Amino acid sequence: MTVLVNNRLPEPGRFKDTTVKTYLESLLGVLSLNNSNAQTLLTKLEPLLNTRFGPNPPVDAEHGMFWLDNGNDPAWTLKLYTPDGWYDILYINVSTGIIKGGLWAVNTNGGNTINGLLEIIGLAGDDIYQLKLTASSGQTDKIFIAEQSTGADLFTIGNNGETKITGNAVVDSFSDIITLRVQGHSTQTNPLLTLETSSGTDVMTVDNSGKITAGGLRTGTFTLGVDTANSFTAAIDSGFLFVHTEGESQRVIAQFKTSGTALMNAIHSSSEYQQTTGALTGTTGLSNKVTISAHTDGKIYIENRNGSSKTINFTILG
């Protein structure tokens, strides 16, 4: 791991981003000690800086000097001197325990504020995580926030793992791989995916069995034992129903309506299927038939009395 052995820049010249990158990599050697609080971090920094700390860093310092400014104690700031002036690269508050990394400065030559970036780069040969955020035992607030200059949240990670992006999200594959994977929990019952309007109304859902509900579209699969029935909400009050018995050539295409006077009218039907209206309980329809039905409760019913268990695939189009 890189260790800071002196506080001089390797060569004179105008300050560059690559210079700070080199010194930040060295500083990571200190930060990676996983200190539990800001005070401990200070005790590691002070000997590293050869006791160069105090309330007033010199106006004309050596090029490349580090200085630990305690003029706002208990808030301390680690500074780096360059031809452009002093740059604040680390903020430590001993009282609150807040530690902030970054690169920002007031240019002492021109008086202009220079904004910069904190970049965490893995050191050669170190196969370790580059950033780790650990919530406290009593954490209730978010554990990570990226925000606009106005303070509006852009990206947050909650203590329960909930991730929220305000704005556009782009997933761009770097190779021929699965670009987005959503995996349900072993006990998943809620939808795997839900798309909503700004008011929270669902416009599309995908459940754990792969059923899709989106506007006038709904798909699904379920298994019916002998003399059993199943029902599902149609999501629309009229449309077309496609039903297919998996592994068999039996299928039906029908027009349905669940509002007003219920309707189930077959456009095409195999001999295994029959159509009706009303609720089905498992033994309502004819023997040796699979019955499909529309009911005024807004649901489509499918009943199996065909003598063996059936896997039913269905699609609704509005």
8 A C-beta contact, residue 97 and residue 29: no
The more confidently predicted of residues 102 and 251 is: 251
What token pair was written down for 215?
């506007």
pLDDT score at 111: 39
Q: Where are the domains of the chain?
A: 17-115, 212-317
Query: Can you give the pLDDT at residue 98?
Result: 65
Residue 28 has pLDDT above 90, yes or no: no
* pLDDT tens digits, 131-173: 777 888 888 888 888 888 888 989 999 888 889 988 888 888 8
Phi, psi of 233, rounded to the nearest 5 degrees:
-75, 130
CB atoms within 10 A of CB 275: 20
Question: Which residue, 217, 218, 220, is CA-closest to 209?
Answer: 220
pLDDT tens string 232-249 = 988 889 999 999 999 898
Count other C-beta atoms under 10 Å from residue 118's C-beta. 13
Q: Degrees (nearest 5) of the Cα angle 310, 314, 317?
A: 165
For tokens 């490349």, what's the residue?
A: 64
Angle 142-147-151 from CA coordinates, rounded to 5°: 100
CATH class of domain segment(s) 212-317? mainly beta
The 10s digit of each residue's pLDDT in 218-234 is: 888 999 999 999 999 88
Helical H runs in the chain?
17-31, 38-48
CA torsion angle 236 239 240 244 (round to 10): 20
List of residues 6+ apart from 35 with CB closer than 8 A: 41, 44
